[in-house]
Amino acid sequence: MRGVDGKTALVSGAASGIGRAAAKRFAEESASVVAVDIDEEGGEETVSQIESDGGEVTFVETDVTDRDDVAAAVETAVDTYGGLDVAFNNAGIEGEQVGFGDQSDDNWERVVDINLTGVFYAMREEIPAMLESDGGGAIINTASIAGILGFPNLSPYVASKHGVVGLTRSAAVEFAAEDIRVNAVLPGVIDTPMVQRSGEADPESTERTIAAIPAQRLGEPEEIASTVVWLGSEDASYVTGQPITVDGGYSVQ
Protein backbone atom coordinates (compact mmCIF):
# COMPACT_ATOMS: atom_id res chain seq x y z
CA MET A 1 0.00 0.00 0.00
CA ARG A 2 1.34 3.43 -0.92
CA GLY A 3 1.21 6.48 1.20
CA VAL A 4 0.98 5.79 4.94
CA ASP A 5 4.58 4.74 5.58
CA GLY A 6 6.18 7.56 7.55
CA LYS A 7 2.96 9.50 7.96
CA THR A 8 1.25 10.51 11.20
CA ALA A 9 -2.28 9.27 11.82
CA LEU A 10 -4.60 10.44 14.61
CA VAL A 11 -7.29 7.93 15.57
CA SER A 12 -10.10 8.75 17.99
CA GLY A 13 -12.14 6.10 19.75
CA ALA A 14 -8.92 4.10 19.77
CA ALA A 15 -9.52 2.28 23.07
CA SER A 16 -11.55 -0.55 21.53
CA GLY A 17 -13.37 -1.91 18.51
CA ILE A 18 -12.93 -0.23 15.14
CA GLY A 19 -10.70 2.51 16.54
CA ARG A 20 -8.26 0.06 18.09
CA ALA A 21 -8.20 -2.05 14.92
CA ALA A 22 -7.50 1.04 12.80
CA ALA A 23 -4.76 2.31 15.11
CA LYS A 24 -3.05 -1.07 14.97
CA ARG A 25 -3.38 -1.27 11.19
CA PHE A 26 -1.91 2.22 10.67
CA ALA A 27 1.03 1.22 12.88
CA GLU A 28 1.48 -2.04 10.97
CA GLU A 29 1.70 0.06 7.79
CA SER A 30 4.54 2.08 9.40
CA ALA A 31 2.58 5.20 10.29
CA SER A 32 3.12 6.95 13.61
CA VAL A 33 -0.15 6.84 15.55
CA VAL A 34 -1.74 9.26 17.99
CA ALA A 35 -4.38 7.15 19.76
CA VAL A 36 -7.15 9.26 21.27
CA ASP A 37 -9.91 8.20 23.65
CA ILE A 38 -11.65 9.20 26.86
CA ASP A 39 -11.03 5.66 28.14
CA GLU A 40 -7.48 5.83 29.49
CA GLU A 41 -7.26 2.16 30.44
CA GLY A 42 -8.44 0.97 27.03
CA GLY A 43 -6.21 3.49 25.29
CA GLU A 44 -3.15 2.31 27.15
CA GLU A 45 -4.02 -1.28 26.19
CA THR A 46 -4.09 -0.20 22.54
CA VAL A 47 -0.68 1.41 23.01
CA SER A 48 0.66 -1.76 24.61
CA GLN A 49 -0.54 -3.90 21.71
CA ILE A 50 0.96 -1.58 19.11
CA GLU A 51 4.28 -1.23 20.92
CA SER A 52 4.56 -4.99 21.41
CA ASP A 53 4.43 -5.29 17.62
CA GLY A 54 7.13 -2.65 17.20
CA GLY A 55 4.83 0.23 16.24
CA GLU A 56 5.15 3.92 17.05
CA VAL A 57 2.26 5.30 19.10
CA THR A 58 1.31 8.00 21.61
CA PHE A 59 -1.89 8.01 23.66
CA VAL A 60 -3.78 11.20 24.50
CA GLU A 61 -6.72 11.00 26.88
CA THR A 62 -9.34 13.10 25.13
CA ASP A 63 -13.00 14.00 25.47
CA VAL A 64 -14.04 14.74 21.88
CA THR A 65 -16.78 17.08 23.10
CA ASP A 66 -14.16 19.30 24.76
CA ARG A 67 -12.64 21.75 22.27
CA ASP A 68 -9.49 22.20 24.34
CA ASP A 69 -8.96 18.45 24.60
CA VAL A 70 -9.33 18.04 20.85
CA ALA A 71 -6.91 20.89 20.17
CA ALA A 72 -4.39 19.34 22.56
CA ALA A 73 -4.60 15.98 20.78
CA VAL A 74 -3.85 17.54 17.40
CA GLU A 75 -1.09 19.63 18.94
CA THR A 76 0.44 16.44 20.35
CA ALA A 77 0.54 14.92 16.88
CA VAL A 78 2.27 17.98 15.46
CA ASP A 79 4.72 18.40 18.35
CA THR A 80 5.58 14.70 18.67
CA TYR A 81 5.75 13.63 15.05
CA GLY A 82 6.18 16.88 13.13
CA GLY A 83 2.74 17.17 11.57
CA LEU A 84 -0.57 15.51 10.88
CA ASP A 85 -1.23 13.60 7.67
CA VAL A 86 -4.26 11.40 8.38
CA ALA A 87 -7.13 11.65 10.87
CA PHE A 88 -9.71 8.99 11.61
CA ASN A 89 -12.53 10.63 13.57
CA ASN A 90 -14.17 7.53 14.95
CA ALA A 91 -15.31 8.19 18.52
CA GLY A 92 -19.03 7.60 18.93
CA ILE A 93 -21.83 6.12 21.00
CA GLU A 94 -25.20 4.57 20.21
CA GLY A 95 -27.14 6.18 23.06
CA GLU A 96 -30.43 4.91 24.47
CA GLN A 97 -32.59 2.72 22.24
CA VAL A 98 -36.09 4.08 22.87
CA GLY A 99 -38.95 5.38 20.77
CA PHE A 100 -38.92 8.86 19.28
CA GLY A 101 -41.34 10.31 21.79
CA ASP A 102 -39.42 8.86 24.73
CA GLN A 103 -36.03 10.26 23.78
CA SER A 104 -34.73 12.50 26.55
CA ASP A 105 -33.03 15.84 26.01
CA ASP A 106 -29.93 14.48 27.74
CA ASN A 107 -29.70 11.48 25.42
CA TRP A 108 -30.18 13.63 22.32
CA GLU A 109 -27.53 16.13 23.39
CA ARG A 110 -25.00 13.49 24.44
CA VAL A 111 -25.28 11.46 21.24
CA VAL A 112 -25.16 14.48 18.95
CA ASP A 113 -22.34 16.10 20.94
CA ILE A 114 -20.10 13.03 20.70
CA ASN A 115 -21.02 11.70 17.27
CA LEU A 116 -21.39 14.93 15.30
CA THR A 117 -20.10 17.94 17.20
CA GLY A 118 -17.03 15.93 18.19
CA VAL A 119 -16.27 15.30 14.51
CA PHE A 120 -16.71 19.00 13.75
CA TYR A 121 -14.36 20.00 16.58
CA ALA A 122 -11.80 17.48 15.36
CA MET A 123 -11.89 18.60 11.73
CA ARG A 124 -11.68 22.24 12.75
CA GLU A 125 -8.33 21.49 14.43
CA GLU A 126 -7.05 18.87 11.98
CA ILE A 127 -7.52 20.79 8.75
CA PRO A 128 -5.34 23.79 9.73
CA ALA A 129 -2.62 21.37 10.86
CA MET A 130 -2.79 19.60 7.50
CA LEU A 131 -2.79 22.88 5.59
CA GLU A 132 0.59 23.69 7.13
CA SER A 133 2.02 20.72 5.22
CA ASP A 134 2.68 20.83 1.49
CA GLY A 135 1.44 17.25 1.28
CA GLY A 136 -2.17 17.95 2.20
CA GLY A 137 -3.94 15.26 4.20
CA ALA A 138 -6.74 12.75 4.48
CA ILE A 139 -9.63 12.72 6.94
CA ILE A 140 -11.92 9.75 7.44
CA ASN A 141 -15.03 10.17 9.57
CA THR A 142 -17.00 7.28 11.00
CA ALA A 143 -20.63 7.53 10.04
CA SER A 144 -22.72 4.34 9.78
CA ILE A 145 -25.25 2.78 7.48
CA ALA A 146 -27.51 4.76 9.83
CA GLY A 147 -26.08 7.77 8.00
CA ILE A 148 -28.01 6.80 4.87
CA LEU A 149 -30.84 4.65 6.28
CA GLY A 150 -33.44 5.05 9.01
CA PHE A 151 -33.71 2.77 12.05
CA PRO A 152 -36.40 2.77 14.73
CA ASN A 153 -35.64 3.70 18.34
CA LEU A 154 -32.31 5.32 17.42
CA SER A 155 -33.34 8.77 16.22
CA PRO A 156 -30.46 10.76 17.80
CA TYR A 157 -27.91 8.24 16.52
CA VAL A 158 -29.38 8.21 13.02
CA ALA A 159 -29.59 12.01 12.91
CA SER A 160 -25.99 12.38 14.11
CA LYS A 161 -24.67 9.94 11.52
CA HIS A 162 -26.60 11.62 8.70
CA GLY A 163 -24.95 14.80 9.92
CA VAL A 164 -21.50 13.25 9.71
CA VAL A 165 -22.11 12.36 6.06
CA GLY A 166 -23.22 15.92 5.30
CA LEU A 167 -20.28 17.44 7.15
CA THR A 168 -17.91 15.14 5.29
CA ARG A 169 -19.28 16.14 1.89
CA SER A 170 -19.18 19.86 2.66
CA ALA A 171 -15.59 19.78 3.90
CA ALA A 172 -14.52 17.64 0.94
CA VAL A 173 -15.77 20.25 -1.53
CA GLU A 174 -14.26 23.12 0.44
CA PHE A 175 -10.76 21.69 0.75
CA ALA A 176 -10.28 19.47 -2.31
CA ALA A 177 -8.23 22.11 -4.14
CA GLU A 178 -5.86 22.22 -1.19
CA ASP A 179 -5.25 18.47 -1.41
CA ILE A 180 -7.18 17.54 1.70
CA ARG A 181 -9.46 14.60 1.09
CA VAL A 182 -12.42 13.99 3.39
CA ASN A 183 -14.39 10.76 3.26
CA ALA A 184 -16.71 8.82 5.55
CA VAL A 185 -16.72 5.12 6.29
CA LEU A 186 -20.19 3.67 6.92
CA PRO A 187 -19.91 0.40 8.83
CA GLY A 188 -22.77 -2.03 8.93
CA VAL A 189 -23.19 -4.31 11.92
CA ILE A 190 -19.67 -4.94 13.17
CA ASP A 191 -18.63 -7.24 16.01
CA THR A 192 -17.64 -4.48 18.43
CA PRO A 193 -18.44 -3.76 22.10
CA MET A 194 -21.32 -1.52 20.95
CA VAL A 195 -22.98 -4.36 19.05
CA GLN A 196 -22.15 -6.86 21.77
CA ARG A 197 -23.99 -4.71 24.32
CA SER A 198 -27.06 -4.77 22.13
CA GLY A 199 -26.82 -8.55 21.83
CA GLU A 200 -26.56 -8.96 25.57
CA ALA A 201 -29.73 -6.91 26.07
CA ASP A 202 -31.61 -8.94 23.45
CA PRO A 203 -29.82 -12.25 22.69
CA GLU A 204 -32.10 -13.01 19.74
CA SER A 205 -31.32 -9.68 18.09
CA THR A 206 -27.95 -10.89 16.83
CA GLU A 207 -29.53 -13.83 15.04
CA ARG A 208 -32.16 -11.57 13.48
CA THR A 209 -29.51 -9.12 12.39
CA ILE A 210 -27.30 -11.76 10.77
CA ALA A 211 -30.32 -13.15 8.93
CA ALA A 212 -30.92 -9.69 7.43
CA ILE A 213 -27.35 -9.29 6.12
CA PRO A 214 -26.72 -10.73 2.64
CA ALA A 215 -23.23 -11.83 3.70
CA GLN A 216 -24.87 -13.77 6.57
CA ARG A 217 -22.35 -12.67 9.20
CA LEU A 218 -21.25 -9.72 11.28
CA GLY A 219 -18.37 -7.64 10.04
CA GLU A 220 -15.01 -7.56 11.82
CA PRO A 221 -13.34 -4.36 13.07
CA GLU A 222 -10.30 -5.22 10.97
CA GLU A 223 -12.43 -5.06 7.81
CA ILE A 224 -13.35 -1.46 8.59
CA ALA A 225 -9.74 -0.70 9.49
CA SER A 226 -8.56 -1.91 6.08
CA THR A 227 -10.95 0.50 4.36
CA VAL A 228 -9.91 3.37 6.62
CA VAL A 229 -6.20 2.88 6.00
CA TRP A 230 -6.82 2.67 2.25
CA LEU A 231 -8.76 5.95 2.37
CA GLY A 232 -5.87 7.51 4.25
CA SER A 233 -3.31 6.32 1.72
CA GLU A 234 -2.17 7.64 -1.64
CA ASP A 235 -3.92 4.68 -3.25
CA ALA A 236 -7.14 6.67 -2.67
CA SER A 237 -5.68 9.96 -3.90
CA TYR A 238 -8.68 10.80 -6.14
CA VAL A 239 -11.37 9.77 -3.68
CA THR A 240 -13.05 12.51 -1.67
CA GLY A 241 -16.50 13.36 -0.36
CA GLN A 242 -17.60 9.76 -0.45
CA PRO A 243 -19.67 7.76 2.05
CA ILE A 244 -18.10 4.30 1.73
CA THR A 245 -20.37 1.53 3.01
CA VAL A 246 -18.78 -1.58 4.49
CA ASP A 247 -21.81 -3.61 5.47
CA GLY A 248 -21.91 -7.05 3.84
CA GLY A 249 -24.54 -5.83 1.41
CA TYR A 250 -27.12 -4.69 3.98
CA SER A 251 -27.75 -1.21 2.58
CA VAL A 252 -28.22 -2.24 -1.05
CA GLN A 253 -31.28 -4.43 -0.42
CATH number, domain containing residue 12: 3.40.50.720
Are the CB atoms for 225 and 18 separated by under 8 Å? Answer: yes
Smallest CA-to-CA distance from 175 within 106, 220, 129, 214 is with 129
Q: Is 1 within a domain?
A: no
Q: Is 201 within a domain?
A: no
Q: Which residues are catalytic?
A: 157
Smallest CA-to-CA distance from 184 within 227, 217, 129 is with 227
Per-residue model confidence as pLDDT tens for the chain (253 residues): 468 999 999 999 999 999 999 999 999 999 999 999 999 999 999 999 999 999 999 999 999 999 999 999 999 999 999 999 999 999 999 999 999 999 999 999 999 999 999 999 999 999 999 999 877 999 999 999 999 999 999 999 999 999 999 999 999 999 999 999 999 999 999 998 777 776 676 778 888 989 999 999 999 999 999 999 999 999 999 999 999 999 999 999 9
Smallest CA-to-CA distance from 5 within 34, 36, 26 is with 26
Q: Is 184 within a domain?
A: yes
Q: Is 212 within a domain?
A: no
Q: What CA–CA distance (Å, rounded) separates 121 from 233?
A: 23
The domain containing residue 53 runs over which residues? Answer: 8-190+220-252
Letter string b/e over residues 5-25, b meaning 16 or more CB atoms within 10 A of that residue's CB: eebbbbbbbbbbbbbbbbbbb
**Model pTM?**
0.96
| Count of structural domains, the chain | 1
Q: Is 30 within a domain?
A: yes
Q: Is 199 within a domain?
A: no
